[in-house]
């Protein structure tokens, strides 16, 4: 990013320099033409005509002027022209000289910086190869063997060494991974990772979080927990993932104090971290009463994903939640739990959201209402019995959404006995749209 900014500034400086130079040359040309015109006019009006006797000396003087001008150096000519020029032209000259000097310095900086960066990359590549060989020798060497790593006390080399050690550790398991972790602590590399947590740059902080979490440095919990409500979204997520790994007693304890919305991406990453490290949490009920609705949604989803049947009553209570998105997730979770007692509450949530009036000025609200009803009907698919046919018939009579009607017809067709017969009765008094849905469903079932 810095390189791009430097190059952009260089291009801007060159354009400004060329523009002002052109303007200066034009000004000089205009000034020269004006001076010539004035001199010619003054000579024709003021200067007396040379006498016949003086013609030889006049001609000689005229002939000597070009010769004297030719003897002047380029700098002297420029200096004479500068002194004769007007104030605006002098200002332009100063600006051009300043820009020219700045441009030269900028080009020198770019060249020197590029040379330094190229040399650093070359050195980093070389030391990286050395550390790869040394770490390989360390892993396959004897456990009690004393081993020294090249230039490990140099700050830049230590950072390269940490990167290579963590990269190797991430791909190993068992005794080899344990030896690398012991080496990380024996060389006190954890201190380098802890220092990164306190750096100002967000990318170095995040890097420190990842290093400490991977090497299981539990002493860093308190420092990392300070960033769960950081304004920077990346820092928030990195701190959350690190705490999931490091806080063995309460992996999701940070959710208690989370003030920001837990994004979908953060939820996916936390869930993947729980799975990857095989972290078991007995119950998510504690977060279903959180004031942060995104936390409630996440806890409810995890309840369904991990099949926590014992949390069924708590999920059931969320059907009365003020947030329609929470109710929608609760319905889907009840569907995943596949509890037979869900039928009654699912019918209630469908009827409750159907009675709610649509808001003409809030499309998202209306969309959530449709999704809630659809989720309730979808959840009925796995638990519906002939006793639920009366409710399903009522859905066909009152529902307006095409997708919900289509799914309801499919569910009724799969309920035996009584489902196909109910569809035949409804078909006789149904409107053309519902008749078409029933016909398509029967044709699909026949195939």
pLDDT over 60 at 31, yes or no:
no
- Predicted confidence at residue 53, as pLDDT, reads 45
0.75 surpassed by pTM: no
Dist. CA 381–CA 399, nearest whole Å: 17
Is the distance from CB of 68 to CB of 60 less than 8 angstroms? no
CA dihedral angle for residue 257, residue 263, residue 265, residue 271, rounded to 10 degrees: 40
Task: Give pLDDT tens digits for 395-407.
Answer: 888 888 888 888 8
Task: Give pLDDT tens digits for 323-333.
Answer: 888 988 988 88
Residue indicated by tokens 């309840």: 303
Q: How confident is the model at residue 54 (pLDDT cuts 50, 70, 90)?
A: very low
Tokens of 216: 């299981």
Residue 238: name the closest of 179, 197, 293, 279 by CA: 197
Residues 6+ apart with CB under 8 A from 144: none
Is the distance from CB of 242 to CB of 228 less than 8 angstroms? no
Average pLDDT value for residue range 158-178 = 90
Task: Give pLDDT tens digits for 104-156.
Answer: 999 999 999 999 998 988 988 889 999 999 898 888 877 667 778 888 888 88
pLDDT over 90 at 373, yes or no:
no
- Predicted confidence at residue 1, as pLDDT, reads 43
pLDDT over 60 at 183, yes or no:
yes
Average pLDDT value for residue range 420-439 = 85
Residue 432: name the closest of 405, 393, 404 by CA: 405
Task: Give pLDDT tens digits for 217-240.
Answer: 988 888 899 999 999 999 999 999
Dist. CA 343–CA 376, nearest whole Å: 9
Residues 6+ apart with CB under 8 A from 96: 17, 20, 21, 24
Q: What angle do CA 433, 437, 443 make, to 5 degrees?
A: 140
Is the distance from CB of 199 to CB of 208 less than 8 angstroms? yes
- Predicted confidence at residue 16, as pLDDT, reads 62
Let me know if 363 is exposed, middle or buried by CB neighbors in 10 A (0-12, 13-18, 19+).
Answer: exposed
pLDDT over 60 at 66, yes or no:
no
Residue 254: name the closest of 244, 263, 246, 269 by CA: 244
Is the distance from CB of 415 to CB of 423 less than 8 angstroms? no
Q: How confident is the model at residue 343 (pLDDT cuts 50, 70, 90)?
A: confident
- Predicted confidence at residue 150, as pLDDT, reads 85
Kindly report the number of other CB atoms within 10 A of residue 73's CB atom: 8
CA atoms within 13 A on the CB side of 310: 6
Q: Can you say how many angstroms the Cα of residue 224 is from the centroid of all Cα atoms in its chain?
A: 20
Which of 25-29, 268-272, 410-414 is the least confident region? Answer: 25-29
Average pLDDT value for residue range 422-445 = 83
């Amino acid at each position: 990013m810095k390189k791009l900014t430097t190059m952009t500034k260089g291009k801007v400086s060159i354009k400004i320099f060329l523009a002002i130079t052109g303007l200066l040359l034009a000004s000089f040309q205009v000034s020269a033409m004006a001076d010539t015109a004035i001199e010619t006019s003054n000579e024709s009006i003021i200067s007396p005509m040379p006498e016949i006797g003086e013609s030889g000396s006049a001609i000689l003087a005229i002939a000597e002027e070009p010769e004297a001008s030719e003897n002047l150096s380029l700098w002297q000519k420029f200096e004479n022209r500068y002194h004769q020029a007007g104030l605006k032209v002098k200002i332009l000259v100063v600006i051009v000289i300043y820009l020219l000097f700045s441009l030269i310095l900028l080009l020198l900086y770019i060249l020197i910086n590029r040379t330094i960066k190229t040399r650093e990359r070359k050195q980093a590549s070389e030391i990286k190869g050395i550390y790869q060989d040394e770490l390989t020798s360390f892993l396959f060497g004897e456990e009690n063997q004393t081993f020294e790593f090249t230039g490990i006390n140099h700050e830049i080399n230590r950072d390269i060494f940490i990167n290579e050690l963590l990269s190797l550790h991430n791909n190993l398991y068992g005794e080899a991974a344990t030896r690398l972790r012991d080496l990380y602590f024996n060389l006190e590399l954890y201190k380098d990772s802890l220092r990164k947590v306190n750096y100002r740059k967000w990318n170095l902080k995040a890097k420190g979080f990842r290093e400490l979490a991977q090497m299981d440095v539990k002493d860093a919990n308190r420092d990392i927990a300070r960033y769960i409500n950081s304004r920077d979204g990346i820092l928030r997520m990195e701190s959350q993932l690190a705490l999931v790994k490091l806080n063995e007693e309460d992996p999701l304890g940070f959710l208690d104090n989370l003030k920001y919305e837990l994004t979908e991406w953060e939820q996916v990453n936390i869930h993947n971290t729980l799975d990857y490290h095989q972290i078991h949490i007995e119950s998510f009920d504690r977060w279903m009463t959180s004031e942060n609705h995104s936390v409630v949604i996440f806890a409810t989803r995890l309840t369904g994903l991990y099949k926590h049947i014992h949390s069924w009553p708590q999920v059931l209570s969320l059907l009365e939640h003020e947030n329609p998105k929470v109710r929608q997730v609760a319905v889907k979770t009840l569907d995943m739990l596949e509890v037979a007692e869900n039928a009654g509450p699912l019918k209630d949530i469908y009827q409750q959201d159907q009675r709610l009036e649509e808001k003409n000025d809030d499309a998202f609200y209306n969309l959530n209402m449709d999704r809630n009803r659809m989720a309730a009907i979808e959840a009925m698919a796995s638990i519906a019995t002939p006793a639920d046919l009366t409710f399903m018939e009522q859905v066909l009579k009152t529902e307006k959404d095409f997708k919900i009607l289509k799914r309801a017809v499919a569910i009724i067709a799969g309920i035996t006995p009584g489902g196909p017969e109910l569809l035949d009765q409804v078909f006789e008094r149904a409107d053309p749209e519902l008749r078409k849905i029933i016909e398509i469903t029967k044709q699909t079932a026949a195939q």
